[in-house]
Structure 1
């Protein structure tokens, strides 16, 4: 399959590679986000040693790394069957044969946390060698891993031997929708939005869908069938990363069904209020859940957290807990047609409403970066108070100007009443200088189009085609 996206990530890695001094770069992110494929693509024209660590003992890991090094021409192959320690193995990096073109050696350790688990002294060994030898060598070492909390705290944190040694830190995020939907070049814009609503920006999930088949066929074939990898993906990932999966199931299910505050989540999950935050923190570290604040919230308000709401940041998890988790019995009996016909098809557009809002917010960020908004946005998000909510809102650096937006993922045209309601809600944000953006799948009624095209209009209409016009 053709490699898609990650242009900015690759550009930054190339800049590190082209730097004059040795590089120690950390690349990390949640599972399935595409770290390994991106590094393979980055390394394809370079003199590279790529070592993929496994769940194994220190001796097994050293034996595997020794084979990789010996195949690359490390001099130890002439007198060793394998390296006796990580210190001796990593020291050999400086003795590898030079590339024929004089370019630097690229050494990639994929899933480095597995190595540390089998030998906790490894970060200290690497730190010592980096300080005395490797930092002066013509090398770029990439440390890659999926255990985000471990990398942030145990490898990059102040108490880590490697603290302050990194020359680059790249946290890989899910793909933006404009890259994610490149997996489906023949889809209509509506179906691209639906595919993104179902799968999000995780490349491993996007690859499962067949771009030559419809959304309906792909859901049935690649999510609802028991043999399909995506059918068991959520359970596999939770078991891989967490304990007490039944409690996490309850919390994620509660959020998927609309519980957003701590009290609502605790009530629906039937768990004590005091215990839920620790589970939520773990889910946030995995990139499954995010905590959201009104776009106008000050840092002090966010620190207190009183107004923070929890959302599922992973679209596929939201789809799985909405449409698979509650109907598992039917699916275990292979009632794929029944589950799709009665539970998914009637609700799919409603389900896609929230991901569509996220898509519109991402579009606003992109427009701001390109200088196509009335101002440069400091923040883009949602706004709400006790009574009102605005789907999309961007504010400038001083908080004196705002764009308020409403998103409608439905096949009927938007009329003036939607704009009037948006104006009314925006009047209570406390920001006086406002413009209004309406996002719609089904287009707009003519009177609203006339309003928006008048010379002094403060309204902009964005159709589904505009969102995918790159």
Structure 2
């Protein structure tokens, strides 16, 4: 099932429609749907596709030559065709604009130093207009290594297009038989990666889906967390140690140092690498809030499947092997799910406010946003306009019914952060007491939002 991607399809169509040949780089997490998006975009167009393997330059050319119908080559007897020769066979003259897609192209760049030169020269010399899409699942390679590797040929790239995870609204549309809250739970485990969504069914409950997808013998995503880490990282023991700590909320540099015994300098280097890969992020208190009572230097895992994997599977691997899947779920997974869903609820609420902001449906025109991690509690969302008017949001997942006393606690946090909000949005996965509803009506600047409103 193809989900969402209207903006992405529009971008590709717009780039494709421009006159002349173009080369763009399209990249994002593995499983985010790059190839599916390409196939949908290329329907009824002239597409040539090649998936690059991690192998030597010569072996890559041999494989590509064979796949495009070239003659069998004995490397010991004949010269292996160049990329220029192979491209010339693939891209026939005439017949309108061609699409050339090279998937996981970093596998060629890493081992074929003259590939980009041959590709650019071929496209520039061709009488046929070519729309070349270079796809990659290696975010770190594209954002940090690509330009230094290809040098002056980077000037021939016409655009970089990072494919984001699908949003919560897409998740709701995909799992159409689930309630809003059930979709939040799925989103909290699988994130916005459609390749993971296909393993869950809205015909089954959450427990059954988790067991069949993560816990049972041969479950398809049982080792996915380790694969994500090990695909491109060496010294996985160090990275897994740090990620396991972050998943357990050991998230400050000094706490990581105390827990692991690694030096702060070493941890900083590995955190930097994880952030470059999109596997960790650093949280900064909102600029307009007081830093005195804020927690500083906090790191988080933004990939929700990794949080689930390290919180439950990696840290309990022995029990996972010895216990039956249902017992493992009941004793280890189920008690800790609420904590994972709590962090995800903040993300869903932020997406909701971003959508309202894009439609100019908020009481302020947002120009900056963030959060405030406090020593005694967090302000989940802070939004501000150029005039300094502000909106803050509190996201409560684990409370059955919110009371007026909960708002009193929020006001203490607001004071601790030295904020003076013009508007307060309170999100709850539970309900609101009648007294709280009356109080918010009297205040006038408080909006109470339940999950069904999302």
Identify whether the pair has TM-score above 0.5, normalized to the shorter chain: yes
Residue matched to 2:340: 351
Residue correspondence of structure 1 range 294-333 to structure 2 within 5 A: 294-296=285-287, 307-333=296-322
Q: Determine which of 368, 374, 392 is the counterpart of 2:381.
A: 392
Residue matched to 2:422: 434
1:440 shift after superposition: 0.7
1:463 pairs with 2:450: yes
Instruction: Report the Cα distance in structure 2 between the residues aligned to 1:297 and 1:321, rounded to whole angstroms.
Output: 34
Residues 253-277 of structure 1, C-alpha deviation per residue, up to 9 Å, x if partnerless? 1111112211112222331111011
Q: Determine which of 223, 233, 237 is the counterpart of 1:232.
A: 223
Residue correspondence of structure 1 range 266-285 to structure 2 within 5 A: 266-285=257-276
Q: Determine which of 342, 362, 376 is the counterpart of 2:365.
A: 376
Residue matched to 1:34: 33
Aligned residue for 2:100, secondary structure, equals strand
The 1:332–1:297 alpha-carbon spacing in structure 2 relative to 1, beyond 3 Å, is farther
Q: Is the 8 A contact 2:244 2:315 kept in 1?
A: no
State the superposition RMSD in angstroms: 2.5
Residue correspondence of structure 1 range 152-167 to structure 2 within 5 A: 152-156=143-147, 160-167=151-158
Instruction: Report the Cα distance in structure 2 between the residues aligned to 1:20 and 1:372, rounded to whole angstroms.
Output: 37
Q: Which segment is superposed worse, 40-49 or 121-130? A: 121-130
Aligned residue for 1:372, secondary structure, equals coil
1:224 shift after superposition: 0.8
1:157 shift after superposition: 5.0
Q: Determine which of 136, 140, 145 is the counterpart of 1:149.
A: 140
Instruction: Report the Cα distance in structure 1 between the residues aligned to 2:220 and 2:440, rounded to whole angstroms.
Output: 47
Aligned residue for 1:229, secondary structure, equals coil
Residue matched to 2:75: none
Residue matched to 1:98: 94
Residues 196-215 of structure 1, C-alpha deviation per residue, up to 9 Å, x if partnerless? 11111111222111221110
How many pairs are equivalent? 444
Instruction: Report the Cα distance in structure 2 between the residues aligned to 1:282 and 1:180, rounded to whole angstroms.
Output: 30
Instruction: Report the Cα distance in structure 2 between the residues aligned to 1:138 and 1:294, rounded to whole angstroms.
Output: 49
1:188 pairs with 2:179: yes
Q: Determine which of 186, 207, 218 is the counterpart of 2:198.
A: 207
Q: Is the 8 A contact 2:58 2:80 kept in 1?
A: no
The 1:297–1:308 alpha-carbon spacing in structure 2 relative to 1, beyond 3 Å, is farther
Residue matched to 1:77: none
Instruction: Report the Cα distance in structure 2 between the residues aligned to 1:153 and 1:345, rounded to whole angstroms.
Output: 39
Residue matched to 2:412: 424
Instruction: Report the Cα distance in structure 2 between the residues aligned to 1:252 and 1:285, rounded to whole angstroms.
Output: 14
The 1:347–1:382 alpha-carbon spacing in structure 2 relative to 1, beyond 3 Å, is same
The 1:184–1:269 alpha-carbon spacing in structure 2 relative to 1, beyond 3 Å, is farther
Instruction: Report the Cα distance in structure 2 between the residues aligned to 1:83 and 1:15, rounded to whole angstroms.
Output: 37
Residue matched to 2:125: 133
Aligned residue for 2:383, secondary structure, equals strand
Which of structure 1's runs of 4+ aligned residues deviate more than 6 A? Answer: none
1:148 shift after superposition: 1.9
Residue matched to 1:87: 84
Q: Which segment is superposed worse, 194-203 or 333-342? A: 333-342
Q: Is the 8 A contact 1:220 1:336 kept in 2?
A: yes
TM-score normalised by L of structure 2 = 0.91
User: Unaligned stretches of 5+ in structure 1?
Assistant: 72-80
1:393 shift after superposition: 1.6
The 1:62–1:226 alpha-carbon spacing in structure 2 relative to 1, beyond 3 Å, is same
Instruction: Report the Cα distance in structure 1 between the residues aligned to 2:169 and 2:62, rounded to whole angstroms.
Output: 43
Residue matched to 2:164: 173
Residue matched to 2:355: 366
Residues 418-454 of structure 1, C-alpha deviation per residue, up to 9 Å, x if partnerless? 2222223223434434211110111211122223345
Residues 74-108 of structure 1, C-alpha deviation per residue, up to 9 Å, x if partnerless? xxxxxxx9972123333556x51433xx3x11110
Residues 147-166 of structure 1, C-alpha deviation per residue, up to 9 Å, x if partnerless? 22222233335972322222
1:244 pairs with 2:235: yes
The 1:297–1:315 alpha-carbon spacing in structure 2 relative to 1, beyond 3 Å, is farther
Q: Is the 8 A contact 2:376 2:413 kept in 1?
A: no
Q: Is the 8 A contact 1:108 1:142 kept in 2?
A: yes
Residue matched to 2:114: 121
Q: Which segment is superposed worse, 402-411 or 356-365? A: 402-411
Q: Is the 8 A contact 1:261 1:310 kept in 2?
A: yes
Residue matched to 1:443: 431
The 1:351–1:385 alpha-carbon spacing in structure 2 relative to 1, beyond 3 Å, is closer
Q: Is the 8 A contact 1:67 1:82 kept in 2?
A: no
TM-score normalised by L of structure 1 = 0.88
Q: Which segment is superposed worse, 137-146 or 55-64? A: 55-64
Residue matched to 2:74: none
The 1:92–1:83 alpha-carbon spacing in structure 2 relative to 1, beyond 3 Å, is farther
Aligned residue for 2:151, secondary structure, equals coil
The 1:118–1:159 alpha-carbon spacing in structure 2 relative to 1, beyond 3 Å, is closer
Q: Is the 8 A contact 1:123 1:155 kept in 2?
A: no
1:110 pairs with 2:98: no
Residue matched to 2:12: 13
Residues 99-131 of structure 1, C-alpha deviation per residue, up to 9 Å, x if partnerless? 3xx3x111100010111233122123334445x
Instruction: Report the Cα distance in structure 2 between the residues aligned to 1:124 and 1:144, rounded to whole angstroms.
Output: 18
